[in-house]
Structure 1
Amino acid sequence: MTVSHKDRQIDNIEFNVGDIGRSKAFYAGAFGWTFVDYGPTYTEFSDGRLRGGFTTGEPVRPGGPLIILYSDDLDATQLRLKALGAVISRETFSFPGGSRFHFIDPDGYELAVWTNLD
């Protein structure tokens, strides 16, 4: 298996928001971000370098956005995280374009890992 240039790197940041339109207006006005909508509950943003998303699919989590890392091998990454003491907080699920799972690190931070569908 070959390793991609983005394996084990932060690949996406996802904000759970109360109102996607409000968040788009705020970040477009403040920083000039651009957006691509993927239905009524998700929009992708780009700041010109990094991509992320706004979603209303889950409750707003005060304290910060969800950091999402990329993995070429989702199963191996999940096993490695479990071996290091991570707790899987959301089992692997599919979405348009890929699959991901969430985990809690030793300090209680929730992160996610995703892979694309080939």
Structure 2
Amino acid sequence: MNVRKLFRSFRYAWRGVAEGLQTEQNFRFHLFAALLVTILGWLSGLSGSEWLIVILLFGGMFALELVNTAIERVVDLVSPEHHPLAGQAKDVAAGAVLVFAAASAVIGCIIFIPKWLNLF
């Protein structure tokens, strides 16, 4: 195993995360939402298994946003002029993010609403 090559690959991966954070408004929005949910989770007293679910949702959302960004960049590279298939590819990738975000919101409601109702 080439340790230098391994560490280089991590450096490239972190550079990709930084690129997403710097250039993608939706990535920053999801980061803000994750911070808000983390605070609310701490205040709500989430169980260990609930935290595991929330963390998996955070990771999935961030990963999917980065994949969407990669798809958009590749499409822009290979099809700089407007092409219907290029637009469809970008729309479908964005749709995948939307589906995951909606599912995450539903799961969040299932976890948080009962806790908040118990407060009253």
With normalisation by structure 1, the TM-score equals 0.20
Which is richer in helix? 2
Which is richer in strand? 1
Tell me: higher relative CO, structure 1 or 2? Use CA pairs within 8 A at least 6 residues apart: 2
Larger Rg: 2
With normalisation by structure 2, the TM-score equals 0.20
